[in-house]
């Protein structure tokens, strides 16, 4: 049974080689490469954005998880990262159905993890030249779908925890429903924000998810098409 599980999650053991550099070493090298314009001759706002997107990763768990599990091999690092993404996707659901979403600190955790996802995905776009070629662009599409779902569910926690949708909302399904409707830009209008704070959050939510769909998914879909053409 153990061999079956290992084969399922990690494949052939010979592929699980140690990475050339740790995640911390890559982090430092990426900052230096951007600062010294070693790969991309960017200036001004573009350079500031690229530096920020790489530098901000140090305050989030993802970088430290990749560094720890990288010592166990590339495949195990990637699988650990996938489980971390799954955990972040499931956590908002746990907060909602356990009733913990009513606590301010839980809303803070949801915002914190959602920001990590947003910054990391943005880095895949704007700092793509310093990232190594992924094992599979199709895997990246799957991860992006989970990222999108995480952001949607995290906004549901925010709407519920901050009480932004008023008394018409009766249970957590309404928060999830409204967040999905906003993420997909459907906007039925049967549930809506009741104050200026709610309207502001909805605007940020809509802008973030529309950008995610149009920019990020389109970017990686084109990568998959290129890979298919080459094959």
pTM of the model: 0.86
Give the count of domains, the chain.
Answer: 1
131: left (phi over 0), alpha (psi -120 to 50) or beta: beta
Closest CA to 60 of 109, 127, 113, 131: 113
* Mean model confidence pLDDT for the chain: 84
Q: Give one DSSP letter per residue of 145-183, joined into a string.
A: HHHHHHHHHHHHHHHHHTT-S-TT--SHHHHHHHHHHHH
Q: What is the pLDDT of residues 182-208, one digit of tens each?
A: 988 787 778 888 889 999 999 999 888
Q: Would you call 96 exposed, middle or buried from its count of C-beta atoms within 10 A (0-12, 13-18, 19+)?
A: buried
Q: What is the pLDDT of residues 125-158, one digit of tens each?
A: 788 776 655 556 677 778 888 999 999 999 999 9
**26 Cβ contact partners less than 8 Å away, ≥ 6 residues apart:** none
- Is residue 121 within 8 A of residue 147, CB to CB? The reply is yes
Tokens at residue 129, please? 């030249």
* SS3 category, 172: helix
CA–CA separation, 193 and 102 (whole Å): 17
> Looking at residue 171, what DSSP letter applies?
S
Alpha carbon dihedral 179, 124, 214, 82, in 10-degree steps, equals -40
> Looking at residue 216, what DSSP letter applies?
I
Task: Look up the CATH number of the domain holding residue 49.
Answer: 1.10.287.70
Q: Which domain holds residue 71?
A: 22-230
Do the domain assignments include residue 13?
no
Question: Would you say residue 19 has pLDDT above 60?
Answer: yes
Do the domain assignments include residue 9?
no
CA–CA separation, 208 and 214 (whole Å): 10
Do the domain assignments include residue 10?
no
More confident: 115 or 124: 115
Do the domain assignments include residue 2?
no
55-59, 76-80, 98-102: segment of lowest average pLDDT: 76-80
Do the domain assignments include residue 7?
no
CA–CA separation, 97 and 52 (whole Å): 35
Do the domain assignments include residue 6?
no
CA–CA separation, 30 and 25 (whole Å): 9
Closest CA to 148 of 211, 94, 191: 211
> What are the Cα distances from residue 213, in Å, to 48, 66, 153, 201?
24, 26, 16, 18
What is the mean predicted confidence (pLDDT) over 84-112?
96
Do the domain assignments include residue 179?
yes
- Is residue 55 within 8 A of residue 31, CB to CB? The reply is yes
Do the domain assignments include residue 195?
yes
């Amino acid at each position: 049974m153990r061999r079956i599980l290992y084969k399922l999650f990690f494949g052939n053991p010979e592929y699980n080689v140690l990475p050339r550099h740790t995640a911390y070493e890559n982090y430092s090298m990426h900052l230096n490469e951007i600062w010294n314009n070693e790969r991309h001759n960017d200036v001004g706002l573009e350079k500031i954005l690229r530096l920020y997107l790489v530098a901000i990763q140090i305050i989030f768990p993802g970088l430290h998880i990749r560094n720890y599990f990288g010592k166990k091999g590339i495949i195990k690092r990637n699988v650990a990262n996938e489980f971390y993404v799954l955990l972040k996707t499931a956590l908002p659901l746990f907060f909602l159905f356990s009733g913990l979403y009513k606590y301010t600190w839980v809303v803070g955790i949801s915002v914190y993890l959602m920001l990590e996802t947003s910054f990391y995905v943005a880095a895949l776009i704007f700092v793509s030249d310093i990232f190594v070629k992924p094992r599979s662009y199709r895997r990246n599409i799957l991860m992006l779908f989970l990222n999108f779902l995480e952001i949607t569910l995290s906004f549901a926690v925010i709407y519920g925890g901050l009480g932004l949708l008023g008394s018409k909302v009766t249970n957590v399904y309404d928060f999830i429903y409204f967040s999905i409707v906003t993420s997909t830009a459907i906007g039925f209008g049967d549930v809506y924000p009741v104050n200026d704070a709610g309207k502001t959050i909805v605007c940020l939510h809509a802008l973030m998810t529309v950008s995610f769909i149009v920019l990020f998914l389109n970017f990686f879909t084109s990568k998959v098409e290129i890979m298919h053409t080459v094959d």
